[in-house]
Structure 1
């Protein structure tokens, strides 16, 4: 005998639903083997449900994993006196709908790239970048030693404040102050350089 889910489609066979209910009840009592068996048995069923909503096989697998994670997270909410399959299908439908909504929102924000969006590397562009890097390095070299050291550690080598404090022997507060002053001084140098 086969039951029907809320959409009127075929649900899990009743005998299998009873087995799943028993396995879930044992799993709620801490039986790991029963839980493992339950997850193995419901996975192909979830895969067939997901395939109805998703075309891409990777989306199907991701949707199945979402459902399995949700089942795991809320397994204690299952009432063993009730059928398991409708509980599972309700969770699956919610997860599938959530996934489809996320995909829809993502597609709305995506821009299809055309040939006009292509960029090609030009040697002149790289020359400007090298020149700018050399100018910035010379500006950093003109900073007072503590500020120069703070900028090199925190901004150029991208160390955390704690890492930079250990390497430099300076306190976190001193590093913050010196980095702030260095950035302020560099900004002024850049403004002065671009002024006519």
Structure 2
């Protein structure tokens, strides 16, 4: 007696199997859509996050034949697609960050600050610092800080060399520290008041 077919174990297997059975791709959506949505919501607000998430998975589905099957996780690939889409909405993100800095409230999406880390949403200077970063530096910093990607995953997501990730992250952290007037010689206790990714 044979049981149900074994379900694919990793993302590469899901994608490969979806070439023959497209409905299998829904498993990839189930695994990663909540994280992609959360990341997009933090960047652009809840309304835009719905669109970004849907479009990310539509693009992923349409381009799944080009996925590098030697990589077991599609996470960096999906975040890369989402980052590109967010980049197209860059002006909205910058307006939202500047509004947050000016008023302490997000004018792009009501109660966005409730869904952000309290330490980030509460600091208007941080919003100004994030808005002032170049798009490339902001993508790297927020993929590390909000999507919790490692350096190699960020490199894969954005299609840039690992050294570029390191230099952009270093530059972004330095600019954020400067904007927040953080002295690098602060003690660890003093640094606890600030987001850990500025260290």
**The TM-score by the shorter chain falls in which range?**
0.3 to 0.5
Higher helix content, 1 or 2: 1
- Which of the pair has the greater relative contact order for Cα pairs under 8 Å at 6+ separation? 2
Q: Which structure has the bigger radius of gyration?
A: 1
Q: Scaled by the length of structure 2, what TM-score is found?
A: 0.38
